[in-house]
Amino acid sequence: MGSSIQILVFAGGLFVLLASGIPVAFAFAVVNIFAAYYLFGSVEALSFVVQAAFSSVSNISLTAVPFFLLMGNIFVRSGLSKIVLDAIEISLFGVRASGSYVAVGAGSLFGALMGASIASTAVLGATLVKELRDRNYSNSLSIGPILGAGTLSNLIPPSLGAVLIGSLAGISIGDLLIAGLGPAALIIVSFCVYIFWQSFRQSYGADNKKRVTLSERGRAIFYLAPLVIPVFSVTGIIYLGIATPTEASATGCAATLLVAIFYRRLSWGVFKAALMDTIFITSMILLIVASSKAYSQILAITGITREINALMTAIAPSPTFAVVIVILVVLILGCVMDQVSVIFVSVPIFVSLVQQFGIDPIWFGVLFSMAIGIGGISPPFGLNLFVLKGVSPPDIGMRDIYWIALPYVFIEMIVLVVVLLVPGVATFLIR
């Protein structure tokens, strides 16, 4: 079987299975079993798949996954998200279109406490959309900031995507987590500038309260202060070199538990629900890790990865151009697949390309994370668009959400281009 036929069968077969709605892990497994039997010609050869699966999930860096997930689940289940929203709202009271800035600020903090784009979008949407609409905010000023802010979880530690990318590609997870802060800050500023401009062109309602005193603002900020502890327990200790990302995931989880206790939001029921959510999602991710590792090794054995790299070398005149091609592929995949699926489908193929061209892996990993986030809010199939539709009032249609998302896609694309042309935006904190 020629290389082109192998690519069509192994890569094309995977996409067909994913498009049919089969869970990602099982889609990988079906292709792996077929490929292993075809390549080695016997049922005994399937032990290769088992060995590859074991080697992948025994990676110590993946220990961070359940801890970061538990950290985010405790945050949501305990109701700490409402504390964040209320405190930021009081702090920004009186600012023009303050509700939109609340969405961006809360999305930033949620990113630092949850690490999952879909979860952040769902929580913000369920909490803020109806309230902002009740205050007569336009759809653009109420829905748009939530869509944009949800993508910040891809860049702000503890980003689950960064952990998976680093683990699969052999990139320093700690450096990758810290490197996302610069682009995230640039995106936040860009969102705020766009909201400020929009606030003079579109309607927004008045705040429910008549006035907020300076002392009330101070109390709100002070009440929010304990949430800095879990943020520092992850980002701070990684940046200072005190702990590895794996160790920081445990300290961040412990700090989130202590903060939930401090706010009197933790009960056995809350902890049990958060634990069960974590077990379920971790099991799903590890199944995907195990099956995708075998898939990547099959691609290497068949020479598909080598053929793809040779093609990229032939058509790409420079490493930057090669990165642009990869980012375009990831953007397209992100429109039709969830973040985890995109990572496991594409990273095994492109990681050797990064090594071959001598591309800075941290810079590449940040661009990859940004592209995944943009894909998640890109019409027509960005997953975050459907998540927000599910928690929005029924009169808001998908067409409305598509049009509202486009300016935020454009803003993030501009920031991506800036990071592409000026790598220091992503790497200055780790150099």
Q: What percent of the chain is predicted at pLDDT more than 90? A: 18
Contacts of 311 (CB under 8 A, 6+ apart): none
| pLDDT of 401 strictly over 70 | yes
- Residue 42 confidence (pLDDT): 61
Higher pLDDT, 292 or 63: 63
Query: Can you give the pLDDT at residue 244?
Result: 84
Per-residue pLDDT at 203 = 61
Residue 354 pLDDT > 60: yes
Phi, psi of 117, rounded to the nearest 5 degrees: -65, -45
- CA distance readout (Å), 365 to 32, 69, 184, 323, 354: 26, 21, 14, 11, 10
Tabulate helix, strand, coil % of the chain (nearest 5): 80, 0, 20
**Angle CA(83)–CA(85)–CA(86) in degrees, nearest 5?**
65
pLDDT value of residue 415: 96
Which range in 122-131, 291-300, 391-400 is most confidently predicted, on average pLDDT? Answer: 391-400
Name the pLDDT band for 56 (thresholds 50, 70, 90). Answer: low
Mean model confidence pLDDT for the chain? 81
pLDDT at site 429: 85
Mean pLDDT of 169-175: 86
Residue 431, class by beta-carbon neighbours within 10 Å (0-12 exposed, 13-18 middle, 19+ buried)?
A: exposed
The predicted model gives 95-99 an average pLDDT of 80
Does residue 88 register a pLDDT over 70?
yes
- What's the pLDDT tens digit per position in 259-292? 999 988 889 999 999 899 888 878 877 777 777 7
Which pLDDT does position 34 carry in this prediction?
77
Residue 63 confidence (pLDDT): 80
* CB neighbour list of residue 306: distance below 8 Å, 6 or more residues apart: 300
Which tokens hold the place of 81? 């998200």
What is the pLDDT, as a whole number, of residue 14?
A: 72
The residue length of the chain stands at: 431
Q: Which pLDDT band, with edges at 50, 70 and 90, does 66 fall under?
A: confident
**pLDDT tens per residue across span 176-187:** 989 999 999 999
Residue 132: which of 149, 155, 116, 115 has the closest Cα? 149
Tokens of 176: 């990758």
Look at residue 285 and give its three-state secondary structure.
helix
Tokens of 62: 């993946």
pLDDT band at 202 (very low <50, low <70, confident <90, very high): low
Look at residue 243 and tell me whether its pLDDT is greater than 70: yes
pLDDT of residue 257: 92
**How far, in Å, are 305, 411, 426 from residue 352 at the CA level?**
8, 30, 21
Residue 60: closest CA among 175, 161, 173, 176: 173
- The H or E element containing residue 294 is helix 268-302
Task: Enumerate residues 6+ apart whose C-beta is below 8 A from 1.
Answer: 9, 38
pLDDT at 353: 77
Arithmetic mean of pLDDT, 167-174? 84
